[in-house]
Amino acid sequence: MPLAPSLAVLSVLMLAEGAATEPPEELRCLARHYSIEPIFERGLWFGKLPDGKLLPFDDGRQKTFDERLDSPDLKDIFFAPYRTGPIEPVEDEGQDPGRVRAEQLLAASYGSHPAREQVRTRFLGIPVQVHPKVVSALERVAARIAKARERDTSLRPFLRRLSGGFAERNIAGTQRPSAHAFGIAIDLDKSMSDYWRWQKQGTHRWRNRIPQAIVDAFEAEDFIWGGRWYHYDTMHFEYRPELLDPICSAGLPDKPR
């Protein structure tokens, strides 16, 4: 006759079972916005993609920021919380909220062959190619900006042209695909913007010319802004609803972990 488990073992099993009933808040957040399902296996949480592949929620590794960029787990996406509000200089090198991206998660949600998925639309009358899942949000951004532009004509020079929508390319200086490669980002006029790689080698000073009203319009519709980054890219707006959903961010820490 097999031995009955001890009370201590039963307690551990019950705790493990209880832990498995509720996914971590960040994983539940990702499941709200992407093609992923929380799965508890072998005592760990994973995100299950439609093809059955499991992405670890927390791989247990201590990482530098660059290691998070190159090899993130799903939890790393939320390493630096994204904060809206008044535009302020970013002086903390670890403050690049949204630059950590899980490429397999984006591919599962926006297509592994994104070039076939894109559609042509217009943003403030300017043609641009993006993924169909972001078209309605982009239209709402345009409506907000059009109203703001009527009230404040100083916004017009920033909105005369775009410098990018969908583009099959990697992030400059890396082997990681850009958000543009999934059709979820657009760039405003680069001649009216600032980018950290344009500075002289060995120098770094945060800069920005994009007005608050334009940033507010994008953020209101779930686009993050590259001007919130220490490695700033102020022309860049990227659809990342998981970072701006108030339900998702309510329980997240105020500072990077």
pLDDT, tens digit (0-9, with 9 covering 90-100), for 44-56: 999 999 999 999 9
Global confidence as pTM: 0.88
pLDDT reading at 25 higher than 60: yes
Which residue do the tokens 């993130």 mark?
72
pLDDT, tens digit (0-9, with 9 covering 90-100), for 67-124: 999 999 999 999 999 999 999 999 998 899 999 999 999 999 998 787 888 999 999 9
The type of residue at 57 is F
The domains of the chain are located at: 7-249
**Cα separation, 257 vs 244, whole angstroms:** 18
Query: In which element (H, E) is residue 44 found?
Result: strand 44-48
Least confident of 49-53, 166-170, 209-213, 245-249: 245-249
**Cα separation, 55 vs 137, whole angstroms:** 28
Name the pLDDT band for 147 (thresholds 50, 70, 90).
very high
Q: Give the residue among 138, 141, 142, 137 at the shortest CA–CA distance from 124.
A: 142
The two structure tokens encoding residue 6: 């001890």
DSSP letter for each residue of 144-191: HHHHHHHH-GGGGGGGS-EEESS---BPTTSSSBPGGGGT-EEEE-GG
pLDDT reading at 13 higher than 80: no
- In sequence order, the β-bridge partners of residue 122 are 127
Q: Give the residue among 210, 77, 94, 78 at the shortest CA–CA distance from 155.
A: 210
Query: Mean pLDDT, the chain, as a whole number?
Result: 89
